[in-house]
C-alpha cells in the first residue's frame, strides 16, 4: 500500500519516478468492477464464454479497471488537497486472472499554475506493457 504523500509543487522534479502500485488481477475483481460499472460483458465475467465463444485464454480484465488502478497510483502519490486533472492511456494487451501488474509513472514536465505532467503506464511481470502512452496531469499546491 502506498502512503499519501501530500506533495507540494516545489518538491517535485522532472524525471522523478513516482511510487509504483502493484495489483494481481483476480476473477473477483472483474465481477466487482462489472457490478460497479454496469459492464457485464461475459468476456470479463464468464470463463466458459471467454474460452469457448470468444476464444480467449480466460476472462480478461476490463481495460477501464486497469486504468482506474493507474489513476489510483497517481492519487495515492499526490494526496490531498492535490487533484488529478487529466488521465489518458492506450489499452495495449489483455490481463488474465493471476497476472501481476505494476502501475508506474515518471514526471515529464512542470507547467505554470502548479501543474505537473506525468508519463504513466502499466506492465506485467514479464515486461509486457498493457497500458501505454499514458499521461496524467495533476495540480499540486
Q: Which cell numbers hold the place of 12?
A: 517535485
pLDDT exceeds cutoff 90 at 124: yes
Helices (H), the chain: 27-37, 42-45, 47-48, 63-78
The pLDDT value given to residue 1: 53
Cα–Cα distance measured from residue 53 to residue 95, given in angstroms and rounded to the nearest whole number: 18
The pLDDT tens digits of the residues spanning 75-96 come to 999 998 899 999 999 999 999 9
Q: Find the length of the chain.
A: 141
Q: Is the pLDDT of residue 135 over 70?
A: yes
Q: Which three cell numbers stand for residue 127?
A: 515486461
Cis amide leading into 81 (omega within 30)? yes
pLDDT tens track for 4-42: 567 899 999 999 999 999 999 999 999 999 999 999 999
* Residues linked to residue 107 through DSSP beta bridges, in sequence order: 118
Strands, E, within 8-52: which ranges? 21-24
Q: What is the pLDDT of residue 26?
A: 98
User: What is the tens place of the pLDDT at every residue in 46-62?
Assistant: 999 999 999 999 999 99
Model confidence at 3, pLDDT cuts 50, 70, 90, reads: low
Cell numbers given for 115: 501543474
Predicted pLDDT of residue 86: 98
The answer to whether 19 and 76 have CB atoms below 8 angstroms apart is yes
- The burial class, CB within 10 Å (0-12 / 13-18 / 19+), for 81 is exposed
What's 127's DSSP letter? S
> Structural domains in the chain?
9-25+61-139 (3.10.129.10)
Amino acid at each position: 500500500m502506498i502512503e499519501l504523500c501530500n506533495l507540494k509543487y516545489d518538491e517535485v522534479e522532472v524525471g522523478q519516478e513516482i511510487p509504483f502500485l502493484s495489483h494481481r488481477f483476480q476473477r473477483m475483481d472483474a465481477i466487482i468492477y462489472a457490478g460497479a460499472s454496469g459492464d457485464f460483458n461475459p468476456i470479463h465475467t464468464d470463463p466458459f464464454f471467454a474460452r469457448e465463444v470468444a476464444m480467449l485464454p480466460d476472462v480478461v480484465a476490463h481495460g477501464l479497471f486497469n486504468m482506474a488502478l493507474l489513476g489510483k497510483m497517481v492519487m495515492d502519490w499526490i494526496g490531498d488537497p492535490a487533484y488529478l486533472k487529466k488521465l489518458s492511456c492506450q489499452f495495449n494487451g489483455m490481463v488474465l486472472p493471476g497476472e501481476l501488474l505494476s502501475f508506474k509513472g515518471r514526471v515529464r514536465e512542470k507547467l505554470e499554475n502548479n501543474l505537473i505532467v506525468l508519463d504513466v503506464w502499466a506492465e506485467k511481470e514479464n515486461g509486457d506493457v498493457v497500458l501505454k502512452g499514458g499521461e496524467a496531469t495533476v495540480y499540486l499546491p
